[in-house]
Chain A
């Protein structure tokens, strides 16, 4: 399994990245939505398409919501599961993200168990990871 972690905070990328690495994911990082689209495009050329994107909401250049809309508009990324990982926690925001095409929504702060639960639900736990 492959994951792209998109967050402008390096510390947060490291936290999310290490949880995913522990769960058996191969992880790449991007610092904003624009960089993430570039990473998807560059990855596509070398056959590296992620199974999962973990997306922060508030980022410079291109925010998480704009990234979700842009990624959804590209049929090449139809298989990629988009999960918002953000402190934004109002019902209206979650609805907005889902309407834009996000599949899931994890609110910060969260535990490694919460991430694992979400991935299990999405059928994204690599083989051999015990629940």
Chain B
């Protein structure tokens, strides 16, 4: 049975309530595709049956899994390379010049999924500065507990490794683990993963020198986008850098950010006097 309008509405409301992410009408296919494995796992005929079962007898584990299935995205290494090139090319030299020689650098990878982004940052920084493992701390957060656990484990399947990880970096920073690959312990120690729902007040963290908040604002409504950007500003250093996804901007959302061109892309910095 294909997804009924009632089932889709229930899923939409659940996802919006739990994550503030808006599933637009017409995204029925996405719900079908993402929830089908869960339905099959439970021996149900289809996604509608799954949604009906959970709707009539909700339990926290099932609703959480539904929300997670709809809010996590496939991700690749060096996804849209510009924000990473900007890190080593522009941001890092400026931060190192502005900070004391022993001052730690704090980076936040928000919505870090299974860990490709925080480990990409860890690889780049450890290649660029030999003392990175002692000086840099990367906070990786995601809404999904499963993704946080995967990030902590630092293990990736062959198919995941194939998605954009340069071969020289693979052999430098990973070892084989069964059918997959495992990140080196040194890099794993640089990354601290925890759960964080961007739509509600953040846990105590920061202040951050650099924040990667990419391809996640697009899922939120305007008011939530504004609230998130305001909270990000509060836990950022005044001379910090914010990277958004290529299709995202603070323009028309929150005027307290200044857009600066970095290499082929752009970054956002807290406006002075705010």
Contact = CB atoms under 8 A, between A and B. Distances in A.
A89 B171 contact: no
Contacts of A110: 159, 162
Interface stretch (B65-73, B74-82, B128-136): B74-82
B181 to A, nearest CB: 9
B167 A104 contact: yes
Interface stretch (A27-35, A42-50, A64-72, A114-122): A114-122
Interface residues of A, number: 22
B83 to A, nearest CB: 13
Contacts of B77: 117
Contact of B158 (A89, A94, A97, A117): A89
Interface string A99-131: 000101111011101100110110000000001
Contacts of B158: 89, 107
Contacts of B174: 91
B230 interface: no
A99 to B, nearest CB: 10
Contact of A98 (B164, B167, B176): B167
Contacts of A90: 176
Contacts of A121: 78, 81, 164, 166
Interface of A: 89-91, 94-95, 97-98, 102, 104-107, 109-111, 113-114, 117-118, 120-121, 131
Given A107-B158, A107-B162, 18 more contacts: A89-B158, A91-B171, A91-B174, A94-B170, A94-B171, A95-B171, A98-B167, A102-B167, A104-B166, A105-B170, A106-B162, A110-B159, A111-B162, A114-B162, A114-B164, A117-B76, A117-B164, A118-B164
Interface of B: 76-78, 80-81, 158-159, 161-164, 166-168, 170-171, 174-176
